[in-house]
Structure 1
Amino acid sequence: MNKSKNNRRSLDTNKLYVLDKDFYPDRWEDDMFMSSIMYNFRPKEVNPEYYEQKMQFWKDMIELYCDYKGSCSISINELKDVFRRKGTSPYCLSDVLNQMQSEGNLQDKISFMQKPNESWTSWTINTFIYKPANWGFSKIKEKVIGAGNQSDDTVFIVKSAVQKQARLLQEHVKKQHSYNNIISMDDLMKHADDIEGLSREGIFFALQYMSVYTKTAYIEEHQTAGENHHHKLLVKFSEPHKSVEPIKELERSIYNLEHTERFLIETIEKKESYLNSVLSDVKNCLKDGKKQMAKTYLRKKHLLESDINKTMSILDNVQAMLQRIHNSKSDKEILSAYKMGSDSIKNTFVKSGINIDNVQDIIEDMREVIEDQDEYENILSSPIRGLNDIDDSELEKELNDIINENKKPGPKDDKSNKAVEDLNLLDLEMRLKRLRSDLPDLDDETTSTTVPRSHEKFTQ
């Protein structure tokens, strides 16, 4: 089923009971099925399964219709026209509504409309009278206030539908406005046609449900000074599943200032537009040679500029006051956060048994323990008499001796040393030969006796 804004608007104006074909389910075209569905219920004992199937079919149709038109209100005559098929209206709707009422999903509008205050009811009457169309005063008044006796024209409220539509209204407030801030009823209804899934009537019943039954909306009459005693309704919404608090004096003051701010901005825009028009008149008069008329418009231009400047000054003051109020609210929230943090720390200290005296005692104990530890380490690191009386120079000498001892030559080192000695002996022998050649007068015998035996062995 496709739902559209145009279809819901048609329900509020000329075509009250004309629905789009897409509203009806596919089985609506099944003649065999619908022929039995349209007539009165047979006793449940005859065929319990079919009885429940038929009952559920009409419950679903009623739910779909409430979603389609964006309102939770129904009556038997209204449903007969809506569900008319090939000239025949359902005969079983009374049984369906009785079943829904026994299950707690249906309530007559008279008992549903517990009035928060008389102004709320009077406002709804005035709101729904502004577009009489085919409705007429008596029809609208009956729909808002309720009929004296329950009949086919008696208006009922479908509880499951109004709950769903209340959630839709909350989502709209969350996106377009904000929770816990004041909204004028006129501002809320100004863009009512743009709220997805809700008609104007649906908004009215959703507000009633939220203000009386779930306590998530608060409605209050308000009169703004200087508006010829014009009454307004102010609404305040809370977050889902939280009870709303009554409107406070500070919130009313903020609302009045914000209302004044919007009024001043609109006034300045209008005056600036008029100023541009006057300036255009001055130029046109000069162009046409009407100098005196141009002066007249020019004086008006200066007066308008002065008036705009005064209004701008007032607007600056109002905006400054609003800014101070918002800053004070922010400061309050910050201080509240600080207090919560401080309280949490205090509670932690209390639960753990920590206080100033305990902390000071613990710190003092730690200082004493650290001082004792330093003293222990100094004592442990000082030399013990009788163990360290050996001179360091003696230890160094002994250490060098051990190192040199480790460097004694091995077998390979002995062979290399012998080779070196042989080379030195050969060198010595050559020197002796040269010396002998330089001394010819010496006796050979004498010379031969002077040669070492080792040399003789070498020469042989």
Structure 2
Amino acid sequence: MARGAEKSEFSFPACWEDSKVMQIRFATFRPRHLSIEDYDTKMKFWKDLVTQYLKFWGRVTFSLRDLQLNFMRGDQLPACLDTVISEMHQQKQIRPRTEYDNDPANTWSGWLMNSLVKRPLSWSWLKIKHSVVGEDMEASTLVEWIHLGVLNDICELMIKKLLPENRGKLFHFDAFKSLCDVHQIRIHTEKDIFACLISLHVRQLVGLEFKTEKQVRSIHLIKIPFKETDDLNINETDHAVHNLQITQADLLKQLENLEEEIKANDEKARQYIKENKRQMAKTYLRKRHLVEKNHERRSIALHNIESLLSSVDEAQNSGVVLDAYKIGSSTLQKVLSDSGLKYDSVDEVLADVRETLEQHREVQDVLSNSTVDPTASQEDDQLENELRELCGEAATVPQKSNAAASNNNDRFEVVISDQEMIEMLANLEVEDGSVSVSSTRTLKQLQKS
């Protein structure tokens, strides 16, 4: 992309259009002790601008020359960026890319260890710049740096967007690059993708296989594990599955081309028929038949490869299910063991429960068959009489002196005299004809006596 196009899309701060302000910002840094506030303000401006610019374009690697060209205002180049880069290097915000390239183990962790821990600040780029050894200023502007903050941001986007949707897959470097474009992860160059993949590899999130061509080491394959505990090394099985996937893609492309060829032969045959060139039309029809047979053979091969891939995928899923069964079984056994849920203990507890319930039923039976205290019944009768008196009704039980006597069994019975019985019978109202003559005579005799 052209520099002008980049600058037109990236939003520079409002002061960028102020020539007086930017003339001061583009000038070299004066010693900090002369004006600490001005120095720190200017340094913060450039550090923030560099970081925002690199994040916007997805640039992990950069050089002083890149920044100078991209931050030009007309014909004016910023003369202070060398000091800004030195400051960012001292604060461990950026690191020289050569530290990674020259790491003997070719590991990102070793590069970070050498950069952040082992190497003292005395050898920093700023010190080298002012050393007694002569320096090629032009070469220093081409030294490549890696911005650790931008690197981490792009890696987080990959972890969020790419890895979850492509677990268990193997990609060529170019295919992974296309995948980043599909998910709208802006990465400027292949060097930036390379640095991000190395970082993900050190974090045990992807597996990498390298290749060396013309003394240049590059990433060949990227393996995204199905789960975190999977082996990140790319083994023969991974290569076999990857080769099947490549063959599948090639066959699909071949089938598309054959279908286009069949259509072209049909068009040619129709054209020659219109021109009354039947022999030429038959020639293209024969060619069409040959292409159709070729198409059929490749369709069968594609079906077989897809069946193999489906079987491999099913076997992997079955392995996942089996692992889940194992985890569930061991977890259940542990829970049962910790809670004491064993057959003998459970049977013993249930026997105790049954015995306790039986004892409870026996107690309830004894309580239900016990004799009720007669004084309670007498007290209840007295309460009933008091309630009737309050309501203006006559008591149903006569006075104790005239109505009740105690027998030898301590049971109370009601005693009514003959006179009281006669009075009660006389007060009864009887309908005519409902009492016999003999009953009337008996009543009169009782009254006379």
Shared fold (TM-score greater than 0.5)? Answer: yes
Q: 1:60 to 1:376 in 2, by over 3 A?
A: same
1:85 matched to 2:73 = yes
> Which residue of structure 1 aligns with residue 304 of structure 2?
317
> Which residue of structure 2 aligns with residue 292 of structure 1?
279
> Which residue of structure 2 aligns with residue 326 of structure 1?
313
Confirm or deny: 8 A CA contact 2:180 2:186 kept in the other structure. no
Confirm or deny: 8 A CA contact 2:194 2:219 kept in the other structure. no
> Which residue of structure 2 aligns with residue 138 of structure 1?
none
* AA at the equivalent of 2:2: S
The answer to which of 372-381 and 248-257 deviates more is 372-381
> Which residue of structure 1 aligns with residue 2 of structure 2?
10
State how far apart, in whole Å, the 2-side matches of 1:384 and 1:59 are: 97
Which one of the candidate residues 195, 198, 208 is aligned to 1:208?
198
State how far apart, in whole Å, the 2-side matches of 1:313 and 1:281 are: 27
> Which residue of structure 2 aligns with residue 396 of structure 1?
none
Q: Which has the higher contact order (CA 8 A, sep 6+)?
A: 1
The Cα of 1:166 is off from its aligned counterpart by: 2.3
State how far apart, in whole Å, the 1-side matches of 2:226 and 2:51 are: 26
The Cα of 1:110 is off from its aligned counterpart by: 0.7
The Cα offsets for residues 252-291 of structure 1, whole Å up to 9 and x where unpaired, read as: 3322222222221221121122122223333333333333
State how far apart, in whole Å, the 1-side matches of 2:365 and 2:355 are: 15
* AA at the equivalent of 2:275: D
Once the two structures are superposed, the pairs formed by residues 357-376 of structure 1 within 5 Å of their partners are 357-366=344-353
The Cα of 1:104 is off from its aligned counterpart by: 0.5
Q: 1:248 to 1:366 in 2, by over 3 A?
A: farther
The Cα of 1:192 is off from its aligned counterpart by: 5.6
The Cα of 1:237 is off from its aligned counterpart by: 3.7
State how far apart, in whole Å, the 1-side matches of 2:211 and 2:306 are: 22
Q: 1:159 to 1:414 in 2, by over 3 A?
A: farther
Percentage identity across aligned positions?
24
The Cα of 1:199 is off from its aligned counterpart by: 1.8
Confirm or deny: 8 A CA contact 2:10 2:56 kept in the other structure. no
1:250 matched to 2:240 = no
Confirm or deny: 8 A CA contact 1:349 1:355 kept in the other structure. yes
Confirm or deny: 8 A CA contact 1:217 1:244 kept in the other structure. no
> Which residue of structure 2 aligns with residue 397 of structure 1?
none
In the superposition, the TM-score normalised over structure 1's length comes to 0.64
> Which residue of structure 2 aligns with residue 260 of structure 1?
247
The Cα of 1:240 is off from its aligned counterpart by: 12
Is the partner of 2:34 in helix, strand or coil? coil
* AA at the equivalent of 2:209: E
* AA at the equivalent of 1:151: S
State how far apart, in whole Å, the 1-side matches of 2:219 and 2:225 are: 20
Q: 1:150 to 1:342 in 2, by over 3 A?
A: farther
Once the two structures are superposed, the pairs formed by residues 219-234 of structure 1 within 5 Å of their partners are 219-221=208-210, 233-234=220-221
State how far apart, in whole Å, the 2-side matches of 1:221 and 1:90 are: 39
> Which residue of structure 2 aligns with residue 106 of structure 1?
94
State how far apart, in whole Å, the 2-side matches of 1:270 and 1:417 are: 121
> Which residue of structure 2 aligns with residue 59 of structure 1?
47
Once the two structures are superposed, the pairs formed by residues 134-153 of structure 1 within 5 Å of their partners are 151-153=140-142
State how far apart, in whole Å, the 2-side matches of 1:184 and 1:62 are: 32
Which one of the candidate residues 143, 156, 168 is aligned to 2:157?
168
Is the partner of 1:350 in helix, strand or coil? helix
State how far apart, in whole Å, the 1-side matches of 2:318 and 2:227 are: 26
State how far apart, in whole Å, the 1-side matches of 2:321 and 2:137 are: 55
1:307 matched to 2:294 = yes
The Cα of 1:361 is off from its aligned counterpart by: 3.5
* AA at the equivalent of 2:153: K
Is the partner of 1:19 in helix, strand or coil? helix
Once the two structures are superposed, the pairs formed by residues 61-76 of structure 1 within 5 Å of their partners are 61-76=49-64
Once the two structures are superposed, the pairs formed by residues 384-399 of structure 1 within 5 Å of their partners are none
> Which residue of structure 1 aligns with residue 143 of structure 2?
154
Is the partner of 1:311 in helix, strand or coil? helix
> Which residue of structure 1 aligns with residue 188 of structure 2?
199
State how far apart, in whole Å, the 2-side matches of 1:116 and 1:244 are: 24
Once the two structures are superposed, the pairs formed by residues 344-363 of structure 1 within 5 Å of their partners are 344-363=331-350
Is the partner of 1:45 in helix, strand or coil? helix
The Cα of 1:416 is off from its aligned counterpart by: 9.1
Q: 1:159 to 1:351 in 2, by over 3 A?
A: same
Q: 1:47 to 1:218 in 2, by over 3 A?
A: same
Confirm or deny: 8 A CA contact 2:10 2:53 kept in the other structure. no
Q: CA RMSD in A?
A: 4.3
Q: 1:23 to 1:292 in 2, by over 3 A?
A: same
* AA at the equivalent of 1:288: E
State how far apart, in whole Å, the 2-side matches of 1:257 and 1:171 are: 28
| Structure 2, gaps ≥5 residues long | 107-135, 213-217, 372-394, 398-419, 435-449
Is the partner of 1:84 in helix, strand or coil? coil
> Which residue of structure 2 aligns with residue 29 of structure 1?
17
State how far apart, in whole Å, the 1-side matches of 2:326 and 2:227 are: 27
The Cα of 1:100 is off from its aligned counterpart by: 0.5
> Which residue of structure 2 aligns with residue 236 of structure 1?
223
Is the partner of 1:259 in helix, strand or coil? helix
Q: 1:320 to 1:239 in 2, by over 3 A?
A: closer
Q: 1:309 to 1:248 in 2, by over 3 A?
A: same
The Cα offsets for residues 320-377 of structure 1, whole Å up to 9 and x where unpaired, read as: 1112222222222222222211111111122223333323443455555566667777
The Cα of 1:26 is off from its aligned counterpart by: 0.7
Q: 1:21 to 1:165 in 2, by over 3 A?
A: closer
The Cα offsets for residues 408-449 of structure 1, whole Å up to 9 and x where unpaired, read as: 99x9x988949x78x99xxxxxxxxxxxxxxxxxxxxxxxxx
Q: 1:298 to 1:86 in 2, by over 3 A?
A: closer
Confirm or deny: 8 A CA contact 1:217 1:238 kept in the other structure. yes
In the superposition, the TM-score normalised over structure 2's length comes to 0.65
Q: How many residues align?
A: 352
The structure with the larger Rg is 1
Confirm or deny: 8 A CA contact 1:180 1:238 kept in the other structure. yes
State how far apart, in whole Å, the 2-side matches of 1:46 and 1:283 are: 88
Q: 1:90 to 1:222 in 2, by over 3 A?
A: closer
The Cα offsets for residues 290-315 of structure 1, whole Å up to 9 and x where unpaired, read as: 33333333332222222222221111
